[in-house]
């Protein structure tokens, strides 16, 4: 039996210690900050729920879905599917378009995501018959907000749901009936939907090349809108997000391997949601790595002792196993590959992330994709040598450079292994 890597065991141990410490909430009540966080995530969620609760205190809900759907994974291949609807009408697209969330703070995201009430209907992943199933798929293919009315079998309940891959959503309830106004369909997605001979991966890539937002492609993918007609099925939302990121990122990185190298070492940077990002690029055949450092009292390191650092990488040939770091790996890979493809250049890439205590709750891998994209939209700091670029990393990041080097396969290889380029230059 294989054991988990030491880095992941450190994270699991920290999570266990955090669960033991959770009893402090009863003593603290959000006032004494006994958990060590800068702000109490329980209170942030509570104050947001107070605003929404009076609007959803009923077994019926009328509002405009952004459009938004959710496909669960528990009980697979029988899963909960259904639309997510806020108690407001009109243009609600912002609350489910993460491409527009750069600059928003935790409170903003919690506030408008808490409004999304998730309707649940138990359904086999291969079943595409029935009104609730039809309406759910129509919503996922819609081009803009759709007027929706849901009757639940009980009042929605539960606090805001938080995931590592998926952006949060609010309370949920089983669906009894659904009514949906005639949606305005995105014709690009509709064309892929009706092409029963088009592979799902080809549909994803075609839509991306036509400029369809990744978040829209992910929704359609999750409701089984793509692929060979006989093979279609519902895909849990968290799986569909990573599948789309991985498919697009892989396609782009294979293309950029044909381009010439960049001419200098670069470091891009950005900061958001108390996360600091540095993207290091250097002249080399394509290789990629993501390293995350989680401070104590952050989402995936609830202990109050040590900073936990872990990462994953791939060399030119790529990787054959799923990255242990999860969906974040593929989200950042996609964003960095996009930037090199625009420039028609090839490079080695190391993405460094410091998650500080202000990142009090997970908000989904969009945070990785969109922040790395944001960093790469701005001019980089440029350096003539790899060592100079590492000097900038040392000055900018709070964590000592040596810890990054110890964790990084790519940086160590660059520093300590001789390459053919070295002999060519000499």
CB atoms within 10 A of CB 48: 23
For residue 380, the 8-state DSSP code is P
Residue with tokens 């609730």: 132
Q: Give the number of other CB atoms < 10 A from CB of residue 92.
A: 23
Report helix, strand or coil for 251: helix
Q: Phi and psi for 92 in degrees, rounded to 5?
A: -110, 20
At 101, is the secondary structure helix, strand, or coil?
Answer: coil
pLDDT at 254: 97
Count the Cβ atoms, other than its own, within 10 Å of residue 152: 21
Contacts of 369 (CB under 8 A, 6+ apart): 98, 214, 245, 331, 332, 334, 335
pLDDT attached to residue 24: 53
Q: Check: CB of residue 290 under 8 Å from CB of residue 353.
A: yes
Residue 329: exposure state from Cβ atoms within 10 A (0-12, 13-18, ≥19): buried
pLDDT at 49: 59
- Beta pairing, strands 60-65 & 146-152: antiparallel
Q: How far apart are CA 224 and CA 196, in angstroms?
A: 11
Q: How far is residue 178's CA from residue 282's CA, in Å, rounded to a whole number?
A: 53
Residue 279 zone, left/alpha/beta (φ > 0; ψ -120 to 50; rest): beta
User: Could you tell me the two tokens for 141?
Assistant: 């293919």
Give CA–CA dist 87/150, Å, rounded: 11
Contact (Cβ atoms closer than 8 angstroms) between residue 285 and residue 419: no
Q: How many residues does the chain have?
A: 426
Are 123 and 209 in contact, with CB atoms under 8 Å apart? no
Distant-in-sequence, close-in-space partners of 262: CB < 8 Å, separation ≥ 6:
281, 282, 283, 340, 343, 345, 346, 347
CA Rg value for the chain: 23
List per-residue pLDDT tens for the chain, 426 residues long. Answer: 333 343 443 433 343 344 444 455 544 545 555 565 666 665 565 555 556 666 678 999 999 999 999 999 999 999 999 999 999 999 999 999 999 999 999 888 888 788 899 999 999 999 999 999 999 999 999 999 999 999 999 999 876 665 666 776 788 999 999 999 999 999 999 999 999 999 999 999 999 999 999 999 999 999 999 999 999 999 999 999 999 999 999 999 999 999 999 999 999 999 999 999 999 999 999 999 999 999 887 766 776 678 999 999 999 999 999 999 999 999 999 999 999 999 999 999 999 999 998 888 888 899 999 999 999 999 999 999 999 999 999 999 999 999 999 999 999 999 987 665 554 444
Domain boundaries, the chain: 39-180, 187-255, 258-425
Q: What DSSP character marks residue 4?
A: P
- DSSP letter assigned to residue 184: -
């Amino acid at each position: 039996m294989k054991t988990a890597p030491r880095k992941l065991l450190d994270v699991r141990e920290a999570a266990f210690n955090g669960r033991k410490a959770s009893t402090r909430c009863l003593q603290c009540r959000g006032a004494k900050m006994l958990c060590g966080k800068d702000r109490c995530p329980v209170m942030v969620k509570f104050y947001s729920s107070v605003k929404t609760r009076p609007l959803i205190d009923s077994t019926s809900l009328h509002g405009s879905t952004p459009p938004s759907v959710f496909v669960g994974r528990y009980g697979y291949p029988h899963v909960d599917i259904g639309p997510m609807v806020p108690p407001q009408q009109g243009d609600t697209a912002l609350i489910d378009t993460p491409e527009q969330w750069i600059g928003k703070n935790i409170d903003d995201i919690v506030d408008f995501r808490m409004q999304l009430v998730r309707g649940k209907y138990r359904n086999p992943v291969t079943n595409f018959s029935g009104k609730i199933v039809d309406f759910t798929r129509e919503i996922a293919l819609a081009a803009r907000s759709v007027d929706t009315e849901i009757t639940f079998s009980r009042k929605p309940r539960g606090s805001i749901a938080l995931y590592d891959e998926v952006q949060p959503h609010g309370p949920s309830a089983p669906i009894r009936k659904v009514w949906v106004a005639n949606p305005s369909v995105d014709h690009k997605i509709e064309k892929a939907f009706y092409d029963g001979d088009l592979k799902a991966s080809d549909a994803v890539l075609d839509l991306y090349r036509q400029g369809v937002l990744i978040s829209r492609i992910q929704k359609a993918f999750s409701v089984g809108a793509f692929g060979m007609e006989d093979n279609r099925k519902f895909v849990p939302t968290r799986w569909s997000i990573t599948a789309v990121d991985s498919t697009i990122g892989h396609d782009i990185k294979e293309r950029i391997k044909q381009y010439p190298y960049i001419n200098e070492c670069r470091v891009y940077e950005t900061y958001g949601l108390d996360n600091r990002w540095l993207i290091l690029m250097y002249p080399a055949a394509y290789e990629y790595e993501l390293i995350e450092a989680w401070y104590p009292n952050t989402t995936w390191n609830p202990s109050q002792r040590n900073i936990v650092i872990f990462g994953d990488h791939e060399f030119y040939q790529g990787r054959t196993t799923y990255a242990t770091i999860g969906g974040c790996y593929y989200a950042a890979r996609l964003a960095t590959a996009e930037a090199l493809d625009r420039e028609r250049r090839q490079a080695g890439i190391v993405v460094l992330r410091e998650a500080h205590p202000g990142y009090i709750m997970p908000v989904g891998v969009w945070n990785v994709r969109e922040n790395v994209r944001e960093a790469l939209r701005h001019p980089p700091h440029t350096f003539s040598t790899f060592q100079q670029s590492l000097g900038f990393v040392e000055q900018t990041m709070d964590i000592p450079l040596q810890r990054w080097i110890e964790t990084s396969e790519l940086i160590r290889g660059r520093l300590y292994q001789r390459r053919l380029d070295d002999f060519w230059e000499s």
